[in-house]
Amino acid sequence: MIVQGRAISNGKAKGEVIKLNEPLSFLGGVDGSTGDLRVRDGNVAGKILVFPRGKGSTVGSYVMYDLMVHGKEPAAVINESAETIVATGAVISSIPMVDMVPSVNMFEDGDIVTVDANAGTVEIEGIVFKEVVSSVVSRNGKCILEKRHDNSRSFPGHWSLVAGKIEDGETPVEAAHREILEETSIEVGEPLGQMDPIYCREGNTLFKVHPFHFDAGDKEPVINDENDGYVWASVEDAESMKTVTDTVLVMRHFLG
């Protein structure tokens, strides 16, 4: 799978991903002489270093240069948004760098990735890409959560919003309407809200998720055989349940 980003520091590299979920300050976050990370286990030397963005002191640029001097620099850097300190450090250290990838959640530790920072592209090997919808169908501050079968192909045994794959020729909102009708027998109106797409991984499958919010009206769901059952759940309820990735995040966005 090839992701189009933006070139920051030219060059090409291939290697294994090491990922941080939080912004990184090279000053204090990485040992400039060994490449050891101080914010988690691992070493950046020769790795494709993925993190959302940089932070901290401008000295961080020179920590990146120090890594290069000691032969411990990352093979490449991938960010959601380039911050001046990291961009400068990548350039002066000749580290290929790409930013404007949609989300670091597209990557997992151990992925094999090719970075072409001349073209601004990132290729993740062995990934299956699926575009799906996931809908908060709510009434009185609660929404429908469906229980997936224990033998479901994705997220078995988890609770999920009303979700499913976007079929060829469908828009995301058309897919959301269809999935809600098929899975709950509820015919909803226009969306009350929509989030920007979010990304999540399950093994080698990457999901691009389009979240929506709909009013359930006064009808009670009639669940089809794709799921084991359903509950009406609040955000607080969902926090203690075994839910699909980012279910609570989406519920909190729409339901508060």
Residues acting as catalytic residues: 57
> In Å, what is the CA distance from 173 to each residue of 34, 157, 191, 248?
50, 26, 8, 21
- What pairing do the DSSP bridges indicate for beta strands 2-4 and 162-165? unpaired
Q: Is the dihedral of CA 4, 10, 16, 17 positive or negative?
A: negative
Closest residue by Cα to residue 76 from 121, 133, 127? 121
Structure-token pair, residue 134? 């996931």
Backbone angles phi, psi at 29, to 5 degrees: -95, -20
Strand residues in the chain grouped as ranges (E): 2-4, 6-9, 12-19, 48-50, 76-78, 97-99, 112-116, 121-124, 128-139, 142-148, 159-160, 162-165, 193-194, 198-202, 205-215, 227-233
Structure-token pair, residue 240? 């203690």
- What pairing do the DSSP bridges indicate for beta strands 128-139 and 205-215? parallel
Distance CA 220, CA 58 (A): 57
Angle at which helix 60-69 crosses helix 84-92, to 10 degrees, equals 20
